[in-house]
Amino acid sequence: MGTGIVANAAATLPVKVPGLLLFARTVWVLDGVLLAVIAVATLIHWTRHTSTARGHLANPVMSHFYGAPAMALMTVGAGALLVGQPLVGQGTAVGIDFVLWTAGTLLGLWTAAAVPYKAFTTHDVKQDAAFGGWLMPIVPPMVSAATGPLLLPHLPAGQWQLSMQLACTMMFGLTIVASLIVITMIWSRLVHHKVGPAAAVPTLWIVLGPLGQSVTAAHTLGATATSVLPAPYGSALEAMGLVYGAPMWGFAMLWLTLATAITVRTARHGMPFSLTWWSFTFPVGTVVTGTSGLAAATGARFLVVAAVVFYVGLLVAWATVAVRTGRGVFHGHLLRVPAQ
């Protein structure tokens, strides 16, 4: 999902840059290949190391990252419609997105319930344990809400479109309420227990995920609402794109400032590379798409500039993390066979 958002965010930018969409299509193809490779690797892992794989859900840290596959599926699927149509055709693009969105949504709804249930009932959770990863299992329904409207024009009019619109709106509510609870817990942990281990600092950026994605979802849901919902509800939901999006964008900027300051402070004392560095990519990408949506709705030039600046930052982060990840995989630091 950290790679796919690079392509999807490029498609939403409120400016035209020569060659940008070609770059986005290339990244989308790369992301599709990565998804296929990781899916096969996951299948092999579950087959050969079943006990280790099954144990992840019982782990109070690892379990939360079950939300990542769901978001990855929907990110690649949305990219098919946003940038992939010239390569595969509209019919194939719709089919890809339908399959991946459906699979990602079902998996995301499962993680949103199953992982918190495990945390409530069996996980050994300490008072200072709250971290950005706690958001991972509850954010996928917001990704569903943000990307589902892309499929809506391809559904039969009437109950099919109405059901999709309402389902996405309900998933928006599911994630935003749960996310605000978790973000409050993360804030409390930072106040009472401070920053914590350097390796976990990048996960603070995950907070931007539900914030930026909710602004994006408010925009995309509003764009389709007037053609699906009866008056005045369609217009009300369309207005929510700005009425909700602008205030939440303000909070996202506050968190972005705090996360940047903490990251810079930590980096000065040494911040070891780990896969948590991918937290610098997808969450920032959602801020790009959310900012682009607000720019399209308002025509505000400072939002256009902000969207471009954030996208440049996303590219820098993605390139840095991708290179470091590739180097770690090549040297065998990141991929290890589980102990028998």
The answer to whether residues 144 and 74 touch, using CB atoms and an 8 Å cutoff, is yes
Instruction: Please determine, for residue 325, whether its predicted confidence score (pLDDT) is greater than 80.
Output: yes
Closest CA to 76 of 104, 42, 40, 52: 104
* C-alpha torsion sign, points 259, 290, 307, 71: positive
Domain contains 250: yes
Closest CA to 162 of 172, 154, 152, 170: 152
Q: Which domain holds residue 35?
A: 4-330
- The CA distance from 219 to 319, in Å, is 28
Domain contains 339: no
- The CA distance from 49 to 95, in Å, is 33
Domain contains 277: yes
Give the pLDDT confidence of 121-161 residue by residue, as tens digits.
999 999 999 999 999 999 999 999 999 999 999 999 999 99
DSSP 132: G
CATH assignment of the domain containing 87: 1.50.10.150
- The CA distance from 316 to 313, in Å, is 5
The answer to whether residues 282 and 209 touch, using CB atoms and an 8 Å cutoff, is yes
Give the pLDDT confidence of 193-245 residue by residue, as tens digits.
999 999 999 999 999 999 999 999 999 999 999 999 999 999 999 999 999 99
Closest CA to 64 of 170, 179, 150: 179
Confidence of residue 339 (pLDDT cuts 50, 70, 90): low
- The CA distance from 340 to 330, in Å, is 23
* Tally of structural domains, the chain: 1
Domain contains 336: no
Domain contains 82: yes
Number of neighbouring beta carbons within 10 Å of residue 325: 18
Query: Any residues with CB less than 8 A from the CB of 127 and at least 6 apart, and which?
Result: 193
Domain contains 337: no
* Helix 301-330 and helix 282-298, axial crossing angle in degrees, nearest 10: 160
Domain contains 216: yes
The answer to whether residues 144 and 104 touch, using CB atoms and an 8 Å cutoff, is yes
In the chain, the percentage of residues whose pLDDT exceeds 70 is: 98
Domain contains 335: no
